[in-house]
Amino acid sequence: MTVRRYKRFLAFLFLSILLGSSFESLSYADELSATAANTRVTFIPHVNTVSPGQTLVIGILMEMDEGWHTYWKNPGDSGYPTNIEWTLPEGFNAGPIIWPNPHRLNVAPLTMYGYEGRTFLLTKIKGADNVPVGASVDIRATVKWLACRIECVPGVAEFSLTMPVAAQGGQRSPLFEQYFEEFRNHYPLDSSRWRIGGSEAPGRIIFQFTPTKDNKTVFQSIEFFPEENGLIDHTASQSFSKTAEGYQLEVIKSPTRPNAPIDSIKGLFVLSPVNPALSKQSFEHEVALKPAVSSQGNSSQDGLTLRIAIFFAFVGGLILNLMPCVLPVLSIKVLNLVESTQKDRGKSMVNALMFTLGILVSFWFLASFIVALKAAGQQVGWGFQFQSPVFVIFMAVLFFWLGLNLFGVFEIGTSLTQAENAFRHSLLLKNSFFNGVLATIVATPCTAPFMGSALGYTLLKPPVYSYLIFTFLGLGLAAPYLVLSAFPNLLRWVPKPGAWILVLKRIFGFLFMTTVVWLAWILGEQRGVDAMAALYAGLFLMAIGGWVIGQWAGVAQRKSIRWIARLCAIFLFVLGFGIALKGAQSAETLMPRHSTTDDSGWIAYSPEVVADLRSRGKAVFIDFTAQWCLSCQVNEKLVLSQRRVMDAFKEKGVILIKADWTNYDEGITKALVSYGKNSIPLYVLYGSQPGREPVILPEILTPKIVFDALGSI
């Protein structure tokens, strides 16, 4: 053998050993395979080396035993998507999983999205630009999946691979090429050959597909796989049809959110050609959805038009005057109206207009706050401020001091004339604008009939609609006082002012103190009994401060004593308010108290619980409520807790679910929006038939209303 041939032989031998050792380290069939949970998982890089700044593709081959399946990134009604956790060298970055097209897996009564037989998941890993040639890098991956037949078994496999760094791309893996070729037409492509539109209709979503001029393939079906769960009914069939421009696909919205407004929806579209010799086409796309439009050009929301929504808002505001929430404030306003009307009709009208302005400004502020949060992507509902313990404490303190004023704690002197004078000239009676603001604040825990539909009408509308609806809601609340001020003859039956006013003053003081007790109870439901005790302790100190003001701050002969009394009162007020706030802030927010119990029969709300019960064909009644919602509490005490009503639910096999909104809950807020509402109470009754629209009960319940609703399912 010549020297030249000997050198060639050594070079060839060295290269063979190098390549052989590289492929031995990969050991595709043995070292980089694992079997668990009825699934064989194989880790397959597409080349045998990595290069600086280049992209390495890793394939995860999953081979399931016969009858078993794994899941797509959205598993559907049940399941868990396969997950890959990467441990990579510094500067290396792994992209998301590239999923092949899934299949619908029907295991009655559920429908899942996943894979049977085998699937090939891909991940692109971008290499670091500064990785040194000639070195080696360690790539580790932990694959977690769920394999199911009837039963489900979780699986975990860990892989570790050391790969050399070369200046150029290495040799391609034949095994990777084999499986990539098998699944090549199963991966989504771009959607550039389609124009895609979408719109909402009651209970469904409609997609329109228009092919570009170079897209000549004729298709016989289209399937949609949503990327986000909870938006569509996975079990419902999807309706495909041809149109003059292309194709149309209708999907049914989730039965738990049939009226949920959806701005856009993202997912995978799989198109099957008429010619069986052609492969399926697929692409992922996010479709902006237009709201359904009625023949009058208004978005459909419970069948309302703008005129009907305005009428409902005005009537709802009018009925608010009869609600217990506003009784303490409005009763005093009526008394002030009696006095001023009998003395000065012009002044009475000015006070009524100022009262109305206070209401309108407050409603406009609420509308602005809600519009701002909606623009920021958040949702709040009517009465949202009572979900804040700080606001509840502030209102309790305000009502407590107003009550002390009505009891005469701040009055100077003890004679009837002096008491009447102090009563007439107090801030509570003279400041009509303040009365309007206060009336609006205390009205928010109540939802009158017609109000829920009117407020829900604004959910999908531009901000101007919110301001319009809130304006007429405020006008409805103020209307009785405007009418009585404009026509004082309607008050001729009321006796003239006298000693009876002082008696009413004390009665209204008790109404205010009752409101304080109610607010303290709300705080206790939100933050526990310690927070409620701290509030009562703070109010006790404030009461002493009020007594000091009444006894010395305004009547003491020596100026120094008056100043000492005022400073003492301020100190006691600040100390009391601080104790109340500290007690609420140090306590933890309580979880909803409605869990499954043998005594109550109610279970706590969650979207998953509702979806599971609906998928199993169970009738469901959802009570959206809060401790601060007086209308809710009245309905629960007088109707829903009645034995005959509970027996009727039991006879029909209805599962009772309590959605407690006392503290802010994003899930409950979204659920309210899904039914076209942003206020409580809301009562939703589902029958046992899947896909059927729910029955929405009115805000004010009677046993007959509940019985009639149960009879309709």
Residue 293: predicted pLDDT:
41
Give the containing element (helix H, strand E) for 680. Answer: none
Q: Quick one: tokens of 574?
A: 């600040």
Place of tokens 């006392």: 662
Query: Are the C-beta atoms of 194 and 209 separated by less than 8 Å?
Result: yes
CATH architecture of 28-186: Sandwich (2.60)
Q: Quick one: tokens of 699?
A: 């805000």
How, if at all, do strands 239-242 and 103-107 pair? Answer: unpaired
Of 337, 331, 340, 60, residue with least CA distance to 176: 60
As assigned by CATH, the class of the 602-711 domain is alpha beta
Query: Are the C-beta atoms of 713 and 706 separated by less than 8 Å?
Result: no
Q: Is the dihedral of CA 495, 501, 507, 510 positive or negative?
A: positive
Name residues of the chain where pLDDT drops below 70.
Answer: 1-31, 202, 257-260, 291-304, 322-348, 373-386, 410-431, 442-454, 456-462, 488-501, 504, 553-558, 586-600, 690-691
Query: Are the C-beta atoms of 400 and 516 separated by less than 8 Å?
Result: yes
Cα-based torsion angle of the residue sequence 472, 477, 482, 484 in order, rounded to the nearest 10 degrees: 140
Residue 13: predicted pLDDT:
36
Q: Quick one: tokens of 454?
A: 């009117």
Fold for domain 196-290? Answer: Immunoglobulin-like (2.60.40)
Query: Are the C-beta atoms of 221 and 177 separated by less than 8 Å?
Result: no
Say yes or no: do domains 28-186 and 196-290 share a fold: yes
User: Which residues are paired to 111 by β-bridges?
Assistant: 106
Residue 297: predicted pLDDT:
35
pTM score over 0.75: no
Please classify residue 706 by burial: count the beta carbons closer than 10 Å to its beta carbon, then call 0-12 exposed, 13-18 middle and 19+ buried. buried
For 128-170, the pLDDT digits (tens) are 999 998 899 999 999 999 999 888 899 999 999 999 999 887 8
Q: Is the dihedral of CA 534, 538, 544, 550 positive or negative?
A: negative
- 101 Cβ contact list (under 8 Å, min separation 6): 186, 187, 188, 268, 270, 280, 282
Domain boundaries, the chain: 28-186, 196-290, 306-528, 602-711
Exposure b/e, 208-237, CB count within 10 A at least 16 = b: bbebeeeeeeebeebbbbbeebbbbbbbbe
